[in-house]
Chain A
Amino acid sequence: MRTEPTAPPALRIEHLRKTFGALRATDDVSLTIERGELHAIIGPNGAGKSTLITQICGELRPDSGHIHLDGADVTGLPAYQRARLGLGRSFQITQLCGDFTVLENVLLSLEAKGGGSFDVFRDPRRNRFEIDVAMEWLGTVGLGDFAERRASALSHGERRQLEIAVALARDPRVLLLDEPMAGMGAEESARLAHLLADLKGRYSILLVEHDMDAVFALADRISVLVYGRVVFTGTAAEVRENPEVKAAYLGDWEC
Protein backbone atom coordinates (compact mmCIF):
# COMPACT_ATOMS: atom_id res chain seq x y z
CA MET A 1 0.00 0.00 0.00
CA ARG A 2 1.27 3.46 -0.92
CA THR A 3 1.60 5.95 1.82
CA GLU A 4 -0.56 9.05 1.47
CA PRO A 5 1.45 12.20 0.93
CA THR A 6 1.34 14.41 3.99
CA ALA A 7 -0.11 17.40 2.14
CA PRO A 8 -2.64 16.97 -0.67
CA PRO A 9 -2.26 19.25 -3.68
CA ALA A 10 -3.96 22.62 -3.35
CA LEU A 11 -6.26 21.80 -6.23
CA ARG A 12 -6.78 18.47 -7.91
CA ILE A 13 -9.06 17.99 -10.90
CA GLU A 14 -9.89 14.46 -11.96
CA HIS A 15 -11.47 13.37 -15.23
CA LEU A 16 -13.64 16.42 -15.56
CA ARG A 17 -16.16 16.30 -18.41
CA LYS A 18 -18.71 18.78 -19.65
CA THR A 19 -20.56 18.64 -22.95
CA PHE A 20 -23.01 21.09 -24.48
CA GLY A 21 -24.95 19.10 -27.04
CA ALA A 22 -22.31 17.68 -29.36
CA LEU A 23 -19.61 20.03 -28.14
CA ARG A 24 -17.13 18.59 -25.69
CA ALA A 25 -16.22 21.74 -23.84
CA THR A 26 -14.26 19.87 -21.19
CA ASP A 27 -13.03 16.47 -22.24
CA ASP A 28 -11.52 14.32 -19.50
CA VAL A 29 -9.41 17.05 -17.96
CA SER A 30 -7.16 16.08 -15.07
CA LEU A 31 -4.63 18.38 -13.52
CA THR A 32 -3.14 19.30 -10.17
CA ILE A 33 -1.85 22.47 -8.64
CA GLU A 34 0.71 21.76 -5.97
CA ARG A 35 1.06 24.04 -2.99
CA GLY A 36 2.86 27.16 -3.96
CA GLU A 37 2.83 26.29 -7.61
CA LEU A 38 1.94 28.70 -10.38
CA HIS A 39 0.23 26.56 -12.96
CA ALA A 40 -0.75 28.18 -16.23
CA ILE A 41 -3.33 27.03 -18.73
CA ILE A 42 -2.92 28.11 -22.31
CA GLY A 43 -4.87 27.28 -25.40
CA PRO A 44 -6.51 28.81 -28.42
CA ASN A 45 -9.86 30.57 -28.21
CA GLY A 46 -12.64 28.07 -27.82
CA ALA A 47 -10.35 25.56 -26.14
CA GLY A 48 -12.62 25.49 -23.10
CA LYS A 49 -10.56 27.55 -20.68
CA SER A 50 -13.49 29.62 -19.45
CA THR A 51 -15.72 26.57 -19.15
CA LEU A 52 -13.04 24.91 -17.06
CA ILE A 53 -12.71 27.92 -14.76
CA THR A 54 -16.45 28.20 -14.23
CA GLN A 55 -16.55 24.52 -13.25
CA ILE A 56 -13.67 24.90 -10.82
CA CYS A 57 -15.28 27.83 -9.06
CA GLY A 58 -18.68 26.14 -9.04
CA GLU A 59 -20.79 28.28 -11.37
CA LEU A 60 -21.21 25.33 -13.70
CA ARG A 61 -21.66 21.69 -12.74
CA PRO A 62 -19.49 19.17 -14.61
CA ASP A 63 -21.19 16.13 -16.17
CA SER A 64 -18.71 13.89 -14.44
CA GLY A 65 -15.35 14.00 -12.68
CA HIS A 66 -14.18 15.47 -9.40
CA ILE A 67 -12.64 18.64 -8.05
CA HIS A 68 -10.68 18.55 -4.81
CA LEU A 69 -9.73 21.65 -2.92
CA ASP A 70 -7.02 21.00 -0.36
CA GLY A 71 -7.90 17.32 -0.39
CA ALA A 72 -11.63 17.87 0.13
CA ASP A 73 -14.07 16.94 -2.63
CA VAL A 74 -15.94 20.14 -3.53
CA THR A 75 -17.56 18.90 -6.76
CA GLY A 76 -21.08 19.12 -5.35
CA LEU A 77 -20.67 22.41 -3.50
CA PRO A 78 -22.11 25.71 -4.73
CA ALA A 79 -19.78 28.54 -5.67
CA TYR A 80 -20.20 30.48 -2.43
CA GLN A 81 -19.15 27.50 -0.32
CA ARG A 82 -16.07 26.91 -2.45
CA ALA A 83 -15.21 30.56 -1.98
CA ARG A 84 -15.51 30.17 1.78
CA LEU A 85 -13.24 27.13 1.63
CA GLY A 86 -10.52 29.29 0.17
CA LEU A 87 -11.02 29.54 -3.57
CA GLY A 88 -10.34 33.06 -4.76
CA ARG A 89 -10.74 34.27 -8.29
CA SER A 90 -10.47 37.21 -10.58
CA PHE A 91 -12.79 37.55 -13.55
CA GLN A 92 -11.94 37.86 -17.20
CA ILE A 93 -14.53 40.60 -17.48
CA THR A 94 -14.07 42.51 -14.25
CA GLN A 95 -16.85 42.02 -11.72
CA LEU A 96 -16.62 44.85 -9.27
CA CYS A 97 -19.13 46.84 -7.30
CA GLY A 98 -19.07 50.03 -9.30
CA ASP A 99 -20.91 52.21 -6.78
CA PHE A 100 -18.53 51.18 -4.01
CA THR A 101 -15.20 52.81 -3.45
CA VAL A 102 -12.06 50.85 -4.14
CA LEU A 103 -11.61 50.33 -0.41
CA GLU A 104 -15.19 49.14 0.02
CA ASN A 105 -14.65 46.53 -2.66
CA VAL A 106 -11.77 45.08 -0.69
CA LEU A 107 -13.66 45.37 2.60
CA LEU A 108 -16.46 43.39 0.99
CA SER A 109 -13.99 40.64 0.20
CA LEU A 110 -12.91 40.53 3.85
CA GLU A 111 -16.52 40.58 5.06
CA ALA A 112 -17.58 37.84 2.65
CA LYS A 113 -14.82 35.48 3.70
CA GLY A 114 -16.99 34.01 6.43
CA GLY A 115 -20.13 34.24 4.33
CA GLY A 116 -21.03 37.80 5.25
CA SER A 117 -22.47 39.12 8.45
CA PHE A 118 -26.02 39.81 9.60
CA ASP A 119 -24.67 42.50 11.90
CA VAL A 120 -26.81 45.55 11.16
CA PHE A 121 -25.22 47.77 13.79
CA ARG A 122 -21.57 48.13 12.92
CA ASP A 123 -20.22 50.02 9.95
CA PRO A 124 -17.38 48.07 8.31
CA ARG A 125 -15.93 51.36 7.08
CA ARG A 126 -15.07 52.11 10.69
CA ASN A 127 -13.33 48.82 11.39
CA ARG A 128 -9.72 49.94 11.77
CA PHE A 129 -8.34 46.44 11.60
CA GLU A 130 -10.07 45.49 8.36
CA ILE A 131 -9.25 48.82 6.80
CA ASP A 132 -5.57 48.31 7.59
CA VAL A 133 -5.63 44.87 5.99
CA ALA A 134 -7.47 46.20 2.96
CA MET A 135 -5.13 49.16 2.54
CA GLU A 136 -2.16 46.85 2.68
CA TRP A 137 -3.50 44.83 -0.23
CA LEU A 138 -4.34 47.97 -2.16
CA GLY A 139 -0.76 49.02 -1.64
CA THR A 140 0.48 45.67 -2.86
CA VAL A 141 -1.38 45.96 -6.17
CA GLY A 142 -0.50 49.62 -6.53
CA LEU A 143 -3.88 51.18 -5.77
CA GLY A 144 -3.00 52.66 -2.39
CA ASP A 145 -3.74 56.20 -3.56
CA PHE A 146 -7.14 55.33 -5.02
CA ALA A 147 -8.85 53.91 -1.92
CA GLU A 148 -11.59 56.54 -1.82
CA ARG A 149 -12.30 56.55 -5.54
CA ARG A 150 -15.40 54.87 -6.90
CA ALA A 151 -14.62 51.60 -8.62
CA SER A 152 -16.63 52.69 -11.65
CA ALA A 153 -14.26 55.63 -12.09
CA LEU A 154 -11.16 53.44 -12.43
CA SER A 155 -9.35 52.83 -15.69
CA HIS A 156 -9.42 49.39 -17.24
CA GLY A 157 -6.01 48.46 -15.94
CA GLU A 158 -6.76 49.76 -12.46
CA ARG A 159 -9.92 47.66 -12.35
CA ARG A 160 -7.88 44.58 -13.10
CA GLN A 161 -5.51 45.48 -10.28
CA LEU A 162 -8.49 45.89 -7.97
CA GLU A 163 -9.83 42.51 -9.06
CA ILE A 164 -6.61 40.96 -7.87
CA ALA A 165 -6.60 42.88 -4.60
CA VAL A 166 -10.17 41.69 -3.96
CA ALA A 167 -9.17 38.10 -4.65
CA LEU A 168 -6.00 38.30 -2.56
CA ALA A 169 -7.43 40.08 0.46
CA ARG A 170 -9.12 36.93 1.67
CA ASP A 171 -5.83 35.00 1.69
CA PRO A 172 -7.07 32.29 -0.68
CA ARG A 173 -5.72 28.76 -0.66
CA VAL A 174 -6.03 28.67 -4.40
CA LEU A 175 -6.14 31.70 -6.64
CA LEU A 176 -7.78 31.46 -10.07
CA LEU A 177 -6.71 34.27 -12.34
CA ASP A 178 -8.77 34.40 -15.52
CA GLU A 179 -6.81 36.39 -18.10
CA PRO A 180 -5.70 39.07 -15.66
CA MET A 181 -3.72 40.90 -18.33
CA ALA A 182 -6.39 41.01 -21.02
CA GLY A 183 -6.71 44.47 -22.49
CA MET A 184 -3.83 45.92 -20.48
CA GLY A 185 -1.16 48.18 -21.89
CA ALA A 186 2.44 47.03 -21.99
CA GLU A 187 3.43 49.00 -18.91
CA GLU A 188 0.49 47.78 -16.86
CA SER A 189 1.10 44.20 -17.98
CA ALA A 190 4.71 44.42 -16.91
CA ARG A 191 3.70 45.72 -13.50
CA LEU A 192 1.19 42.94 -13.08
CA ALA A 193 3.72 40.33 -14.16
CA HIS A 194 6.03 41.74 -11.52
CA LEU A 195 3.28 41.41 -8.93
CA LEU A 196 2.58 37.81 -9.94
CA ALA A 197 6.26 36.97 -9.71
CA ASP A 198 6.14 38.41 -6.23
CA LEU A 199 3.13 36.31 -5.25
CA LYS A 200 4.58 33.18 -6.76
CA GLY A 201 5.59 30.60 -4.21
CA ARG A 202 3.40 32.14 -1.53
CA TYR A 203 0.12 31.22 -3.20
CA SER A 204 -1.14 28.30 -5.25
CA ILE A 205 -2.17 29.95 -8.48
CA LEU A 206 -4.00 28.76 -11.56
CA LEU A 207 -3.35 31.28 -14.29
CA VAL A 208 -5.28 31.41 -17.55
CA GLU A 209 -3.53 33.90 -19.75
CA HIS A 210 -2.97 34.80 -23.38
CA ASP A 211 0.17 36.80 -22.81
CA MET A 212 2.70 34.09 -23.67
CA ASP A 213 5.76 36.02 -22.55
CA ALA A 214 4.28 36.36 -19.09
CA VAL A 215 3.17 32.73 -18.98
CA PHE A 216 6.53 31.34 -20.02
CA ALA A 217 8.35 33.64 -17.62
CA LEU A 218 6.15 32.95 -14.61
CA ALA A 219 4.67 29.47 -14.74
CA ASP A 220 6.15 26.50 -12.91
CA ARG A 221 4.12 24.24 -15.13
CA ILE A 222 1.95 24.83 -18.14
CA SER A 223 -1.01 22.78 -19.34
CA VAL A 224 -2.03 23.09 -22.94
CA LEU A 225 -5.75 22.87 -23.56
CA VAL A 226 -7.04 22.14 -27.06
CA TYR A 227 -10.67 21.36 -27.85
CA GLY A 228 -11.38 20.69 -24.21
CA ARG A 229 -8.50 18.26 -23.76
CA VAL A 230 -5.22 18.70 -21.94
CA VAL A 231 -2.77 17.70 -24.66
CA PHE A 232 0.35 18.31 -22.62
CA THR A 233 1.51 19.39 -19.19
CA GLY A 234 5.08 20.35 -18.43
CA THR A 235 7.52 23.13 -17.72
CA ALA A 236 7.88 26.06 -20.05
CA ALA A 237 10.90 24.52 -21.69
CA GLU A 238 9.14 21.19 -22.18
CA VAL A 239 6.09 22.87 -23.70
CA ARG A 240 8.26 24.77 -26.15
CA GLU A 241 10.04 21.60 -27.22
CA ASN A 242 7.09 19.23 -27.33
CA PRO A 243 6.38 18.15 -30.92
CA GLU A 244 2.81 17.17 -30.14
CA VAL A 245 2.03 20.65 -28.85
CA LYS A 246 3.67 22.23 -31.84
CA ALA A 247 1.75 20.04 -34.24
CA ALA A 248 -1.57 20.46 -32.57
CA TYR A 249 -1.37 24.04 -31.73
CA LEU A 250 1.66 26.13 -32.41
CA GLY A 251 0.45 27.46 -35.71
CA ASP A 252 -2.49 28.82 -33.87
CA TRP A 253 -0.89 30.99 -31.17
CA GLU A 254 -2.74 34.10 -30.56
CA CYS A 255 -1.83 36.75 -28.12
Chain B
Amino acid sequence: MTASRRPLLFTLALFAVFATLPAVFALTGWTGGMGLATRILIYATAVVALDLIIGYGAMVSFGHAMFFGVGGYAVAVVAHHTGLGEMPFGGSNAALVVWPIAIVVCGLLGFVVGWLALKTSGVQFIMITLAFAQMVFFLLVSVQSWGGDDGMMIDRRNTLPFVDIGRPTTFYYVCLAVLVMWFAFCRMLVNSRFGLVLQALRQSERRAVNLGIAPLSFRLATFVTSAMGTGLAGVLWANYARFVSPDMAAWTKSGEFMAMVVLGGLGTLVGPIVGAAAFVGLEEVLSTWTQHWMIVMGPLLVIVALYRRRGLVGSFLGGDRAH
Protein backbone atom coordinates (compact mmCIF):
# COMPACT_ATOMS: atom_id res chain seq x y z
CA MET B 1 0.00 0.00 0.00
CA THR B 2 3.01 2.23 0.40
CA ALA B 3 2.69 4.40 -2.64
CA SER B 4 6.44 4.45 -3.24
CA ARG B 5 7.49 3.05 -6.59
CA ARG B 6 11.08 2.96 -5.46
CA PRO B 7 11.34 -0.83 -4.90
CA LEU B 8 9.94 -1.56 -8.34
CA LEU B 9 12.23 0.91 -10.09
CA PHE B 10 15.20 -0.35 -8.13
CA THR B 11 14.37 -3.93 -9.10
CA LEU B 12 14.02 -3.07 -12.76
CA ALA B 13 17.33 -1.19 -12.69
CA LEU B 14 19.01 -4.13 -10.99
CA PHE B 15 17.76 -6.61 -13.58
CA ALA B 16 18.78 -4.23 -16.36
CA VAL B 17 22.31 -4.19 -14.94
CA PHE B 18 22.34 -7.99 -14.84
CA ALA B 19 21.16 -8.08 -18.46
CA THR B 20 24.06 -5.93 -19.65
CA LEU B 21 26.77 -7.70 -17.65
CA PRO B 22 27.74 -10.23 -20.37
CA ALA B 23 28.36 -7.34 -22.76
CA VAL B 24 30.49 -5.63 -20.13
CA PHE B 25 32.51 -8.79 -19.57
CA ALA B 26 32.98 -9.18 -23.33
CA LEU B 27 34.19 -5.58 -23.65
CA THR B 28 36.54 -5.67 -20.68
CA GLY B 29 37.73 -9.17 -21.41
CA TRP B 30 37.26 -10.27 -17.83
CA THR B 31 36.92 -14.02 -18.28
CA GLY B 32 36.05 -14.83 -14.72
CA GLY B 33 33.16 -12.41 -14.68
CA MET B 34 30.61 -14.64 -16.33
CA GLY B 35 31.01 -17.48 -13.85
CA LEU B 36 30.86 -15.06 -10.94
CA ALA B 37 27.72 -13.38 -12.24
CA THR B 38 26.06 -16.74 -12.89
CA ARG B 39 26.79 -17.87 -9.33
CA ILE B 40 25.26 -14.65 -8.05
CA LEU B 41 22.06 -15.22 -10.04
CA ILE B 42 21.76 -18.80 -8.77
CA TYR B 43 22.30 -17.86 -5.13
CA ALA B 44 19.91 -14.94 -5.60
CA THR B 45 17.17 -17.37 -6.65
CA ALA B 46 17.77 -19.40 -3.51
CA VAL B 47 17.80 -16.46 -1.12
CA VAL B 48 14.72 -14.81 -2.61
CA ALA B 49 13.02 -18.10 -1.71
CA LEU B 50 14.49 -17.94 1.79
CA ASP B 51 13.36 -14.34 2.25
CA LEU B 52 9.84 -15.48 1.45
CA ILE B 53 9.71 -17.58 4.59
CA ILE B 54 12.01 -15.60 6.91
CA GLY B 55 11.08 -12.08 5.90
CA TYR B 56 7.39 -12.57 5.20
CA GLY B 57 6.54 -15.68 7.16
CA ALA B 58 8.84 -15.25 10.19
CA MET B 59 9.94 -18.87 9.79
CA VAL B 60 13.69 -18.80 10.39
CA SER B 61 14.88 -21.87 8.53
CA PHE B 62 18.46 -22.81 9.34
CA GLY B 63 18.37 -25.77 7.00
CA HIS B 64 17.43 -24.38 3.64
CA ALA B 65 20.58 -25.70 2.00
CA MET B 66 18.96 -29.14 2.14
CA PHE B 67 16.64 -28.11 -0.69
CA PHE B 68 19.54 -26.61 -2.61
CA GLY B 69 21.38 -29.91 -2.24
CA VAL B 70 18.43 -32.12 -3.06
CA GLY B 71 17.58 -30.04 -6.13
CA GLY B 72 21.14 -30.41 -7.35
CA TYR B 73 21.31 -34.11 -6.58
CA ALA B 74 18.05 -34.73 -8.40
CA VAL B 75 19.69 -33.46 -11.60
CA ALA B 76 22.86 -35.46 -11.01
CA VAL B 77 21.04 -38.63 -10.04
CA VAL B 78 18.72 -38.55 -13.03
CA ALA B 79 21.70 -37.97 -15.30
CA HIS B 80 23.68 -40.74 -13.61
CA HIS B 81 20.97 -43.38 -13.86
CA THR B 82 19.96 -42.28 -17.33
CA GLY B 83 23.57 -42.84 -18.33
CA LEU B 84 23.46 -46.32 -16.83
CA GLY B 85 20.18 -47.02 -18.62
CA GLU B 86 18.42 -47.56 -15.30
CA MET B 87 15.74 -44.90 -15.53
CA PRO B 88 12.12 -45.75 -16.30
CA PHE B 89 11.07 -44.69 -19.82
CA GLY B 90 14.73 -44.58 -20.74
CA GLY B 91 15.39 -41.50 -18.66
CA SER B 92 15.90 -38.04 -20.03
CA ASN B 93 18.34 -35.21 -20.18
CA ALA B 94 15.73 -32.62 -21.13
CA ALA B 95 15.50 -29.72 -18.69
CA LEU B 96 11.75 -29.61 -19.17
CA VAL B 97 11.57 -33.14 -17.77
CA VAL B 98 14.37 -33.19 -15.21
CA TRP B 99 13.87 -29.78 -13.65
CA PRO B 100 10.18 -30.27 -12.77
CA ILE B 101 11.05 -33.65 -11.27
CA ALA B 102 13.71 -32.01 -9.10
CA ILE B 103 11.32 -29.26 -8.03
CA VAL B 104 8.58 -31.70 -7.15
CA VAL B 105 11.02 -33.77 -5.08
CA CYS B 106 12.04 -30.64 -3.18
CA GLY B 107 8.39 -29.73 -2.72
CA LEU B 108 7.64 -33.13 -1.22
CA LEU B 109 10.66 -32.92 1.07
CA GLY B 110 9.58 -29.39 2.00
CA PHE B 111 6.11 -30.64 2.81
CA VAL B 112 7.35 -33.34 5.16
CA VAL B 113 10.00 -31.17 6.83
CA GLY B 114 7.69 -28.16 7.04
CA TRP B 115 4.79 -30.13 8.43
CA LEU B 116 6.96 -31.58 11.17
CA ALA B 117 8.96 -28.44 11.88
CA LEU B 118 5.90 -26.18 12.07
CA LYS B 119 4.75 -28.08 15.12
CA THR B 120 7.39 -25.97 16.85
CA SER B 121 8.35 -22.32 16.69
CA GLY B 122 11.13 -19.97 17.76
CA VAL B 123 14.47 -21.52 18.59
CA GLN B 124 13.04 -25.02 18.25
CA PHE B 125 12.02 -24.28 14.68
CA ILE B 126 15.50 -23.02 13.85
CA MET B 127 17.05 -26.14 15.31
CA ILE B 128 14.67 -28.70 13.86
CA THR B 129 15.17 -27.32 10.35
CA LEU B 130 18.91 -27.56 10.99
CA ALA B 131 18.46 -31.14 12.17
CA PHE B 132 16.60 -32.15 9.01
CA ALA B 133 19.28 -30.53 6.88
CA GLN B 134 21.93 -32.50 8.77
CA MET B 135 20.01 -35.71 8.14
CA VAL B 136 19.93 -34.94 4.43
CA PHE B 137 23.62 -34.05 4.53
CA PHE B 138 24.66 -37.30 6.20
CA LEU B 139 22.45 -39.38 3.95
CA LEU B 140 24.09 -37.80 0.90
CA VAL B 141 27.51 -38.45 2.42
CA SER B 142 26.69 -42.09 3.00
CA VAL B 143 25.23 -43.05 -0.37
CA GLN B 144 28.34 -44.47 -2.01
CA SER B 145 26.68 -45.15 -5.35
CA TRP B 146 26.03 -41.42 -5.60
CA GLY B 147 29.62 -40.57 -4.83
CA GLY B 148 29.36 -40.29 -1.06
CA ASP B 149 31.66 -37.62 0.31
CA ASP B 150 33.14 -36.87 -3.08
CA GLY B 151 29.92 -35.99 -4.82
CA MET B 152 29.06 -36.65 -8.45
CA MET B 153 30.22 -35.24 -11.74
CA ILE B 154 27.62 -34.45 -14.39
CA ASP B 155 28.76 -35.04 -17.96
CA ARG B 156 26.77 -32.30 -19.62
CA ARG B 157 24.09 -29.79 -18.85
CA ASN B 158 20.41 -30.52 -19.38
CA THR B 159 19.01 -29.55 -22.73
CA LEU B 160 16.44 -26.88 -23.42
CA PRO B 161 14.57 -26.56 -26.71
CA PHE B 162 15.86 -23.78 -29.05
CA VAL B 163 18.77 -22.69 -26.85
CA ASP B 164 22.10 -24.26 -26.07
CA ILE B 165 22.75 -23.79 -22.37
CA GLY B 166 26.13 -25.41 -22.80
CA ARG B 167 27.28 -21.93 -23.81
CA PRO B 168 28.10 -19.80 -20.76
CA THR B 169 26.32 -16.69 -21.99
CA THR B 170 23.16 -18.56 -22.87
CA PHE B 171 23.19 -20.33 -19.55
CA TYR B 172 23.65 -16.98 -17.83
CA TYR B 173 20.56 -15.58 -19.50
CA VAL B 174 18.57 -18.70 -18.65
CA CYS B 175 19.54 -18.21 -14.99
CA LEU B 176 18.56 -14.54 -15.24
CA ALA B 177 15.21 -15.46 -16.77
CA VAL B 178 14.58 -17.99 -14.02
CA LEU B 179 15.45 -15.42 -11.35
CA VAL B 180 13.22 -12.77 -12.91
CA MET B 181 10.26 -15.13 -13.17
CA TRP B 182 10.75 -16.52 -9.68
CA PHE B 183 11.11 -13.02 -8.27
CA ALA B 184 7.98 -11.84 -10.06
CA PHE B 185 6.06 -14.80 -8.72
CA CYS B 186 7.21 -14.19 -5.14
CA ARG B 187 6.38 -10.50 -5.41
CA MET B 188 2.92 -11.31 -6.65
CA LEU B 189 2.52 -13.85 -3.86
CA VAL B 190 3.38 -11.46 -1.02
CA ASN B 191 1.06 -8.80 -2.41
CA SER B 192 -1.80 -11.23 -2.92
CA ARG B 193 -4.71 -12.21 -0.70
CA PHE B 194 -2.59 -15.16 0.40
CA GLY B 195 0.33 -12.85 1.17
CA LEU B 196 -1.87 -10.56 3.25
CA VAL B 197 -2.74 -13.46 5.54
CA LEU B 198 0.84 -14.71 5.62
CA GLN B 199 2.17 -11.33 6.65
CA ALA B 200 -0.58 -10.92 9.23
CA LEU B 201 0.57 -14.18 10.82
CA ARG B 202 4.08 -12.79 11.05
CA GLN B 203 2.97 -9.62 12.77
CA SER B 204 0.30 -10.92 15.10
CA GLU B 205 -0.55 -14.57 15.00
CA ARG B 206 -3.05 -14.06 17.79
CA ARG B 207 -4.96 -11.46 15.86
CA ALA B 208 -5.01 -13.56 12.71
CA VAL B 209 -6.22 -16.68 14.51
CA ASN B 210 -8.97 -14.72 16.20
CA LEU B 211 -10.07 -13.51 12.80
CA GLY B 212 -10.47 -17.06 11.53
CA ILE B 213 -7.05 -17.98 10.14
CA ALA B 214 -5.67 -21.50 10.64
CA PRO B 215 -1.93 -20.73 10.67
CA LEU B 216 -0.46 -24.09 9.70
CA SER B 217 -1.83 -24.35 6.17
CA PHE B 218 -0.62 -20.86 5.21
CA ARG B 219 2.82 -21.34 6.68
CA LEU B 220 3.20 -24.81 5.24
CA ALA B 221 2.18 -23.69 1.77
CA THR B 222 4.77 -20.93 1.93
CA PHE B 223 7.44 -23.26 3.24
CA VAL B 224 6.82 -25.71 0.41
CA THR B 225 6.88 -22.90 -2.16
CA SER B 226 10.16 -21.69 -0.75
CA ALA B 227 11.60 -25.21 -0.76
CA MET B 228 10.76 -25.55 -4.44
CA GLY B 229 12.38 -22.20 -5.27
CA THR B 230 15.55 -23.15 -3.40
CA GLY B 231 15.47 -26.53 -5.13
CA LEU B 232 15.27 -24.75 -8.46
CA ALA B 233 18.42 -22.84 -7.53
CA GLY B 234 20.07 -26.18 -6.72
CA VAL B 235 19.04 -27.44 -10.17
CA LEU B 236 20.71 -24.45 -11.78
CA TRP B 237 23.82 -24.91 -9.64
CA ALA B 238 24.18 -28.54 -10.68
CA ASN B 239 23.96 -27.43 -14.30
CA TYR B 240 26.37 -24.57 -13.74
CA ALA B 241 29.09 -26.52 -11.94
CA ARG B 242 28.27 -29.89 -13.54
CA PHE B 243 29.15 -31.26 -10.14
CA VAL B 244 27.20 -31.83 -6.94
CA SER B 245 28.47 -32.77 -3.48
CA PRO B 246 27.01 -33.03 0.01
CA ASP B 247 28.53 -29.61 0.74
CA MET B 248 25.59 -28.12 -1.17
CA ALA B 249 23.44 -29.21 1.79
CA ALA B 250 25.97 -28.35 4.52
CA TRP B 251 24.82 -26.23 7.43
CA THR B 252 27.37 -23.56 6.54
CA LYS B 253 25.57 -23.14 3.23
CA SER B 254 22.32 -22.56 5.12
CA GLY B 255 24.16 -19.97 7.20
CA GLU B 256 25.48 -18.25 4.09
CA PHE B 257 21.99 -18.09 2.59
CA MET B 258 20.71 -16.54 5.76
CA ALA B 259 23.58 -14.07 5.74
CA MET B 260 22.78 -13.05 2.16
CA VAL B 261 19.14 -12.41 3.05
CA VAL B 262 19.95 -10.18 5.99
CA LEU B 263 22.90 -8.57 4.26
CA GLY B 264 20.68 -7.36 1.42
CA GLY B 265 17.56 -6.50 3.37
CA LEU B 266 15.16 -8.86 5.07
CA GLY B 267 11.57 -8.85 3.90
CA THR B 268 12.18 -6.91 0.71
CA LEU B 269 12.66 -9.77 -1.83
CA VAL B 270 14.91 -7.58 -3.98
CA GLY B 271 17.30 -6.89 -1.11
CA PRO B 272 18.48 -10.51 -0.88
CA ILE B 273 19.48 -10.36 -4.56
CA VAL B 274 21.78 -7.49 -3.65
CA GLY B 275 22.86 -9.51 -0.63
CA ALA B 276 23.80 -12.48 -2.78
CA ALA B 277 25.76 -10.21 -5.12
CA ALA B 278 27.55 -8.54 -2.23
CA PHE B 279 28.36 -11.82 -0.49
CA VAL B 280 29.59 -13.70 -3.55
CA GLY B 281 31.37 -10.64 -4.90
CA LEU B 282 33.09 -9.95 -1.59
CA GLU B 283 34.14 -13.57 -1.31
CA GLU B 284 35.67 -13.30 -4.77
CA VAL B 285 37.47 -10.05 -4.06
CA LEU B 286 38.72 -11.06 -0.64
CA SER B 287 39.89 -14.49 -1.73
CA THR B 288 42.06 -13.03 -4.49
CA TRP B 289 43.55 -10.77 -1.85
CA THR B 290 44.11 -13.34 0.89
CA GLN B 291 43.34 -16.99 1.42
CA HIS B 292 42.14 -16.01 4.89
CA TRP B 293 39.20 -14.06 3.50
CA MET B 294 36.86 -15.29 6.23
CA ILE B 295 38.80 -13.24 8.76
CA VAL B 296 37.20 -10.22 7.07
CA MET B 297 33.87 -11.75 6.07
CA GLY B 298 33.11 -12.97 9.61
CA PRO B 299 33.35 -9.57 11.30
CA LEU B 300 31.48 -7.99 8.38
CA LEU B 301 28.51 -10.27 9.05
CA VAL B 302 28.71 -9.35 12.73
CA ILE B 303 28.63 -5.67 11.88
CA VAL B 304 25.64 -6.11 9.56
CA ALA B 305 23.77 -8.08 12.23
CA LEU B 306 24.54 -5.50 14.89
CA TYR B 307 24.26 -2.22 13.05
CA ARG B 308 22.62 -2.66 9.66
CA ARG B 309 19.70 -4.79 10.58
CA ARG B 310 17.76 -3.59 7.56
CA GLY B 311 20.58 -4.61 5.29
CA LEU B 312 22.31 -2.78 2.47
CA VAL B 313 19.19 -1.61 0.67
CA GLY B 314 16.39 -2.09 3.24
CA SER B 315 16.31 1.56 4.34
CA PHE B 316 16.73 2.82 0.81
CA LEU B 317 13.68 0.88 -0.33
CA GLY B 318 11.59 2.62 2.30
CA GLY B 319 8.89 1.37 4.61
CA ASP B 320 9.12 1.28 8.38
CA ARG B 321 9.30 -2.41 8.99
CA ALA B 322 10.24 -3.00 12.56
CA HIS B 323 12.99 -5.57 12.76
A interface residue numbers (CB < 8 A to B): 57, 59, 78-81, 83-84, 89, 91, 95-101, 103-104, 107-109, 111-125, 148, 150, 152-153, 166, 170
Contact = CB atoms under 8 A, between A and B. Distances in A.
B212 A100 contact: no
B200 A83 contact: no
B210 A57 contact: yes
B218 interface: yes
B193 A124 contact: yes
Given A79-B210, A170-B212, 4 more contacts: A95-B204, A108-B200, A109-B211, A148-B1
Contact of A114 (B212, B218, B319): B212
Nearest to B1: A101
Given A103-B1, A123-B192, A117 B197 contact: yes
Contacts of B210: 57, 59, 79-80, 83, 89, 91, 95
Most chain A beta-carbon neighbours within 10 Å: one of B1, B221, B320? B1
A122 B200 contact: no
B87 interface: no
Interface in B247-263: none
B174 interface: no
Contact of A80 (B1, B193, B212, B321): B212
B72 interface: no
Chain B residues touching A, majority SS: helix
Given A111-B193, A117-B194, A99 B321 contact: yes
Nearest to B267: A99
B315 interface: no
Given A80-B212, A123-B192, A148-B1, A108 B197 contact: yes
Given A96-B204, A100-B203, A108-B200, A80 B213 contact: yes
Given A100-B200, A107-B196, A83 B1 contact: no
A99 B188 contact: no
A97 B200 contact: yes
Interface of B: 1, 3, 188-189, 191-197, 199-200, 203-204, 206-214, 217-218, 221, 319-322
Contact of A112 (B1, B191, B211, B221): B211
A48 to B, nearest CB: 20
Contacts of B1: 100-101, 103-104, 125, 148
Nearest to B218: A116
B211 A122 contact: no
A111 B192 contact: no
Contact of A121 (B188, B203, B221): B188
B322 A108 contact: no
A119 B207 contact: no
Contacts of B319: 99
* Top 5 closest pairs, chain A to chain B, by CB: A112-B211, A83-B212, A95-B207, A116-B197, A97-B203
23 contacts: A80-B209, A80-B210, A80-B211, A81-B212, A84-B212, A95-B206, A96-B207, A97-B203, A97-B204, A99-B320, A112-B197, A113-B211, A113-B212, A114-B212, A115-B214, A118-B218, A119-B194, A120-B195, A122-B192, A123-B192, A125-B1, A152-B322, A170-B212
Nearest to B203: A97
Contacts of A83: 209-212
Nearest to B205: A95
Given A112-B212, A120-B192, A98 B322 contact: yes
